[in-house]
Amino acid sequence: MKIQRAILSIAAAVVAVTMGADAQGAEERSSNLSPQVLQEITKVEAEIDLTEAQAIERLAAPPDNQIQQIELLGKLMLYDKNLSVNRNEACAFCHMPETGFTGPVSELNRTTGAYPGSVRTRFSDRKPQSHAYAPLSPVLHYNPGQGDLVGGNFWDMRATGRRLGNPAAEQAQGPPTNPVEMGLPDIACAVYRASQRPYRALFESVWGVQSFAIAWPGDVEQVCNRPGPATAADPLPVHLSPIDRGRVGATFDQMAQSIAGYEASAEVTSFTSKFDAVLAKKAQFTPQEQQGYDLFRGQARCNECHRDGGPGEDPLFTDFTASNIGTPANPRLPYYGEDRPDALGYVANPLGSSFVDGGVGTFLSNGHLLSQPSAVDARWLKLAPDNQARIRVPTLRNVDKRPYPAFVKAYGHNGYFTSLKQIVHFYNTRDVLPRCQPHDPGEGTTCWPAPESTANMNTSKVGRLGLSDAEEDALILFMQTLTDGFEH
C-alpha cells in the first residue's frame, strides 16, 4: 500500500508541475529553471520517491545481517529528501543509478553543468561526481616518492577520510550543510530530521539507542527550516548541551558511515561491466574495442592516470591522484552569477566572474568556501602551490552510462564538456588546435578556449596525442565497456 500511495503522490506531483502549480513552483520558476529542466527534475524526483518507498517497505522485515542493515540505512538516507532544508532534495538527486550515480538531468548537464540545491536559486561550483566506487579510495596521504597526494573524495580531495578512516563517509558529510546543496544550517538538523523518519528504529538497533537520545530545543523545527549557512555569531544555531552536541556529532558520523556502506555495496559498486566480463573470460572485446583498449594503454596514455589495475590492484580506472588537464572555464555555470546577496542575503561566490577553481591547492591552503567535511592537515600547507588547480582523477567506470542514447552527460570538474567525444578530442588536441575567438563556432572541434588555470598544468600526458578521428572513436568504444550492468 505504501508503494501504491507513493506512486499516486508521484503522479500528482507530475501533474502539479506540468500545470505549474506545485508547492515550490514559484521559487523554482524564479531560479530561471527552464520548463524542460523542471520536467526532467520531476521525473527524477518521482524515481527517488519510488525508490525510497520500496526501501521503506523493506523495514517491515529488515535483513538480519548487520552489514546489510547498514546498507539499507545508507540507501534510505541517500533517497531521503527530508534531509535537505526545504525537504525537496535527496542526496540521490545528483547521484542516480541510471547515469552511473552522477547527475541525472540531461538538460542541466547540457546547460548549467552544476545542479541547483534545496534552495533552487543556488547552484554549486562543480558538476556532481559519481559516488560508485568512491568508498574504495584510500585515505588521503602524501607519497613523497612520487610527489603526489593520493586518495580522498570530492574533486579537490577535501573529504580526506583522515578522521573516520573512509573518504566516502566524510564526503557524505559535505552536502547536508553546504548552502548551495542540501542547505541545512547545522549538522544537528540532519540528525533531528533523521530521528523523525521511519528508519529511526533500525538506526537505533544498529548504532545504539543513544543515537537520538537528544533533548531538542523547542525552536529546532524553526531553526532547521531556515537555510544555511549559519551566522558567524551563532555557528551552531541548534542550541544543545555539550553532551547532546557530542551525541549529534557521533550520530552524524554513523549516518555518513551508513551511506558509505551502501555506496560500497554490490548495488552501487558492482564490477559488472563488459570489461570485467572480459577479464573473467566470459566475453570478448570487439576488434574496435580492443583497438581502443590498446590505445588506452599505449599511445593515448590514459592508463598512466586512469589505472586499469596491476598486480594486487583492482581495475578502478583512477590512480587517486590529482592533475590539471587545462580544462577551460565553463561560462554556463550559474555560480559565476552568485556574487550578489540572494533573497536570504547569502552570497555563494564573492569573486563572481573572476572566480578560478583552485582545486586541491585551494583546499590545502584555506579550505573550501562551501563545505569542509574534513580538517586540513596543517603540515600539508607547503604542498598547496604544487597542487593549485589540480583536480582529482575520476574513475572512468560508468563514464558513458546513460538512460538513453541522446541523454547528455557532463564531463570535467566543471561540466565544460558535454560529450565523451569532446573530452577525448580535448585530450588529443589541446596543444595542437588554436585558441578560440569569442563565440567561435568551431569551439570544441577546431579550437579550444584557454585553460581556466595554467598552474601545474599537465603537459606531459595530455594535449598532443596524435590520434586520428577513428582512434578517438575506438577509445570511446572501449570506455563504453566500463558501463556496469553487462553482467547480472
Q: What average pLDDT does the structure give for the chain?
A: 93
Residue 235: Cβ-neighbour burial (10 angstroms; 0-12, 13-18, 19+):
exposed
Instruction: Give tens-digit pLDDT for 156-210.
Output: 999 999 999 999 999 999 999 999 999 999 999 999 999 999 999 999 999 999 9
Report d(CA 213, CA 311) in Å as an integer.
48
CB contact at 8 A, 35 and 42: no
pTM, rounded to two decimals: 0.93
User: What's the pLDDT score for residue 487?
Assistant: 87
Mean pLDDT, range 415-425, rounded to an integer: 98
Residue 435: Cβ-neighbour burial (10 angstroms; 0-12, 13-18, 19+):
exposed
User: What's the pLDDT score for residue 367?
Assistant: 82
Residue 165: Cβ-neighbour burial (10 angstroms; 0-12, 13-18, 19+):
exposed
Instruction: Give tens-digit pLDDT for 319-343.
Output: 999 999 999 999 999 999 999 999 9
Query: What confidence tier does 10 reach under pLDDT thresholds 50, 70, 90?
Result: very low
Report CA 87 to chain centroid distance, whole Å: 19
Residue 218: pLDDT above 50? yes
Residue 16: pLDDT above 70? no
User: What's the pLDDT score for residue 312?
Assistant: 79
CB atoms within 10 A of CB 339: 15
